[in-house]
Amino acid sequence: MLRNVLVVVLLVLPCATAFAQTQLSMPYPKPVYNQSYPLAEARFKCPDLPTTAPRDLVFTGIYSKDDPERDDTNYDNQQEYRRQTQGIVQFENKLLAMTNAYYVAPPDRQAARARCALSWMYSWAGGRALLGTTNYVGISVRHWTLASLASAYGQIRDEPTLDASMASEVKTWLRALALAVVADYDSPSNRRENNLAYWAAWSVTMTGVAINDFSLYQWGLRRAILAIDDIAGDGTLPLEMQRGSKAMLYHQFALTPLVMIAAAAEANGYNLYSLNDGRLDRLAKRVLAGLESPLFFESRTGYAQEGSETLSAGHMAWVEIYNAHAPSYRTRNLLQRYKPMVSRRLGGNMTLLIGGNSAADTDAESDIKILAPAGAEGQ
Instruction: For residue 86, give the CATH number of its domain.
Output: 1.50.10.100
> Which residue, among 337, 374, 338, 339, has the nearest Cα to 355 in the 3D structure?
339
Q: Are 339 and 313 in contact (CB under 8 A)?
A: yes
Residue 222 located in a structural domain: yes
Local structure of 23: helix, strand or coil: coil
What is the share, in percent, of the chain residues with pLDDT greater than 70? 79
CA distance readout (Å), 365 to 280, 293, 351? 33, 34, 13
Is the pLDDT at 12 greater than 60? The verdict is no
Express each pLDDT in 343-354 by its tens digit: 999 999 998 888
Express each pLDDT in 141-178 by its tens digit: 999 999 999 999 999 999 999 999 999 999 999 999 99
Q: Are 211 and 217 in contact (CB under 8 A)?
A: no
Pairing of strands 342-343, 348-349: antiparallel
Query: Quick one: pLDDT at residue 270?
Result: 96
Query: Quick one: pLDDT at residue 132?
Result: 96
Query: Quick one: pLDDT at residue 107?
Result: 65
Residue 208 located in a structural domain: yes
Residue 39 located in a structural domain: no
What total of structural domains would you count in the chain? 1
For residue 140, name the pLDDT band (cuts at 50, 70, 90).
very high
> Which residue, among 365, 362, 366, has the nearest Cα to 98 in the 3D structure?
365
Rounded to two decimals, the pTM is 0.89
Residue 305 located in a structural domain: yes
Higher-scoring residue by pLDDT: 297, 3: 297
For residue 203, name the pLDDT band (cuts at 50, 70, 90).
very high
For residue 72, name the pLDDT band (cuts at 50, 70, 90).
low
Residue 143 located in a structural domain: yes
Residue 212 located in a structural domain: yes
Is the pLDDT at 126 greater than 70? The verdict is yes
Of 130-144, 176-190, 293-307, which range is least confident?
A: 176-190
Q: Beta-strand (E) ranges in the chain? A: 342-343, 348-349
CA distance readout (Å), 256 to 87, 131, 147, 283? 24, 25, 12, 11
Q: In angstroms, rounded to a whole number, what is the distance separating the alpha carbons of residues 327 and 265? A: 19
Q: What count of residues does the chain have?
A: 379
Q: Spell out the residues 6+ positions from residue 80 whose beta carbon is closer than 8 angstroms to its own.
A: 60
Q: In angstroms, rounded to a whole number, what is the distance separating the alpha carbons of residues 3 and 279? A: 14
Express each pLDDT in 26-59 by its tens digit: 999 876 665 555 554 557 889 999 888 899 999 9
Residue 16 located in a structural domain: no
Question: Where in the sequence is the domain holding 256, given as residue range(s)?
Answer: 45-66+73-353
Is the pLDDT at 73 greater than 50? The verdict is yes
> Which residue, among 112, 120, 103, 117, has the nearest Cα to 41 in the 3D structure?
112
Query: Quick one: pLDDT at residue 366?
Result: 44
Residue 175 located in a structural domain: yes
For residue 103, name the pLDDT band (cuts at 50, 70, 90).
confident
Q: Helix and strand tally (H, E) in the chain?
A: 13, 2
Mean pLDDT of the chain: 85
